[in-house]
Structure 1
Amino acid sequence: MNNLIQELLWRGLIHDTTYSEQIKNEIITLYTGFDPTYKSLHIGNLVAIIMLIHFKKSGDNIISVIGGGTGMIGDPSGKDCERIFKKKELLSNNIFCLKKQLSLYLDFQNHEIFNNYEWLKNKLFIEFARDIGKYFTINYLLTKDSIKRRISNNNSISFTEFTYQLLQAYDFLYLYKEKNCSLQIGGSDQWGNITSGIELIRKKLGVKVNGLTFPLITKLDGSKFGKSENGENIWIDKNLTSPYKFYQFWINISDEQAKKYIKIYTFIKKEEIKEIIFYHENDPKLKLIQKKLAHAVTIFIHGKNTFEKIKFISNIIFNKKKRINEINKNDIIFIYKNIPHKKIYLSKNFNIPIIDLLVNKSKFLKSKKEAIKQLNSIYINKKKIDEKFLLKKNDFLSGTYILLQRGKKQFFMIKIVEFLN
């Protein structure tokens, strides 16, 4: 256990912890929770999965809890306003999807997945208020960041959200009593909820348990990856974020992020990581850290076969010497299916200006203003074009497809489904 904590510290995977003394080298049971507000986990949740794997590899027992009960309320942590309640049918579908994903990536013997609705659904309010609520003062709850932040920003918080911490604290108590679970882990925004569970167990049972949080992974703008957050997330469901786009996310992160993430998101040994960083710094243009990271994480999430397909696509569309119109139709179709794409319909005697193609027809770019601004970096079938470009039939690859490109990294494919009279 002590060796594991040192390993997690080196990897930057510990933000806060209640461990303050020599840790006993004994097998423990720990858990972390997953919020079912959406039907897929994202790369922020992936850190929790990786943490569970680290503990499992060290011999500990791991538990995943999907918040079917608490998800009906919504965690106020990090939120500036109250969540919109999810319908029970939607939550049920989300729970089913998350359970399937967790079973895939945490495929260990004795790994248990629970839905906390099962132990919360029969808890009467008056019973809960007497047995759990009496251990928490209003003053104590007001010190928690999730509540203090809302109030200090002149926002209100409902009684419903105010009680969320008590419900999560009860989860910890329940799992301690039923599964001898003595450690709860979670993202750094969960520290208040975790310590409330620790306090409840201490007051009610006179037992010391522990908590540990890992850093939140944030987007380039500083906002966190979250299932209910605005903006684009990187999902682990291939139907929400394509494996190609998933791979490209890791390839295109900065050197600073790559040095941090290769420790967090992979199980590559310390000495090898140091070696990769050393060679990367000798020639940063080769992006050795990003490539190693993208390789490891993509195989972990999507498998080796899919990774090989992505490499095949990348070798074609990023190869400046390879002419796209010389590629056979099967390969063109394969590329179309694995990168962002759209079907469009054209009239028989079409005459489409480039701006219309980029915005109205393909939706590749969001607005006419953006298209005009980006025009100098636009390529059609790997050939740079200008504002005078008009799409013609002989521009089609294999008689059906068009490859759009913005700059060096962003690709999009159009398929002409049929010509309408």
Structure 2
Amino acid sequence: MASPSLVWLRDDLRLADNPALRAAMDRGEPVALLYVLDEESPGIRPHGGAARWWLHHSLASLRERVKELGGSLTLRRGPAERVVSQTVADIGAGAVYWNRRYGGAERDIDAGLKSSLREEGVEVASFQASLLHEPWTVTTGSGTHFSVFTPFWRACLALPTPRAPLPAPRALDGLTPPPSSDELDDWGLLPTRPDWTGGLRETWEPGEPAARARLRTFLQDDVPAYDRARDEPSAGATSLLSPRLRWGELSPFTVWHEAVEAHGTAGFLSELGWREFAWHTTFHAPDIATKNLRRQYDAFPWPRLSPSHLEAWQRGSTGIPLVDAGMRELWHTGFMHNRVRMVTASFLVKNLLIDWRRGEEWFWDTLVDADGASNPFNWQWVAGSGADAAPYFRVFNPELQAKKFDPQSLYISQWAADAPTEPIVDLAATRKAALAAYEVVKRTATQS
């Protein structure tokens, strides 16, 4: 009697270059695809609002593509270990395949499942699919993990060329009848009262086909100007691939090889490297979203939180044009240009003296590309407390940044034409206060 293969999908919502799916098909038995919405397992961080919107539409797209190929996508909700085990029992699966995850809580779940399923006689295998180089394969000469990007990326480039991407299946041998499934609409991933996602709908089309189309457009039209214009928020030179990689609608192997074939710039490829470095760091510091990587920053004397300042920052009403433009772009589109992300983050931490974790939480809720590594990693980089972090004394001046990267105010005019013009703080005075606070960290580190 046939024993079906179960493919457990996570942050790999695609058919092309999906090693777990390929392994299941190569096994030669019918294949069931499962996605579990797990918001209950210990340590699992629930998705933010913008991410939930993206997930809904990406799953809807994937479900239709799977159906067209003769398969079905089963949706179930609950603690992953329990749900996957129950699904295995429901369909009599003889093998379970998934692509690896690198967060601490996720690794614990996967390891527990792998052990328990194997004890029951089920074949279990996991695969490398979301990183070009798995975190434990890139080490310093002394065998430790890296804490600085440039030598990390140099070491990555010295490794063998990343494997070629796998083709998408032309057909799927699904189960008849398919396993019982939740209705996607019943998960309540889309906001309704109010529905604030109009800007997201105008900006994005989630799903693997749209991801592939965006990659082609970027490589054909935008790569030549990438290194020159990527820091200009009005230039439209960035790839806009970050949510596609975050949700696994594209694999990094596909992006890497197609970019190389299209003579993509070293600057663009290094952005893939920065993503790898964020996960490399998170693998070795899974509490990155809540704890300073550089523990001496625990001594930073954060003043009492000003709710009005935090709200002004969140709403894009600080009176600082570039900051307000970025925060309004974020609210409308679920995205913000990378240069402006650094400026808005620096303003929150170093001018408003608000703990970086507050900003990280807001970005987690409002970004469509927020993931468990890049979001906290980049916030710690700006705050000075992270790996290869910006020096504590580097305070981005948003006015100078605007003159340099938005000299004609095209970006500011697009997003913040009606924003307040009276700054809520004095940039020079707050910079001095930030430097004085960082001196406390410096003295504490020296005394310890």
Specify if TM > 0.5.
no
Which structure is richer in relative contact order (CA contacts within 8 A, separation 6 or more)?
2
TM category, shorter: 0.3 to 0.5
Q: Which has the higher strand share?
A: 1
* TM-score (norm: length of structure 2): 0.36
TM-score (ref. length: structure 1): 0.37
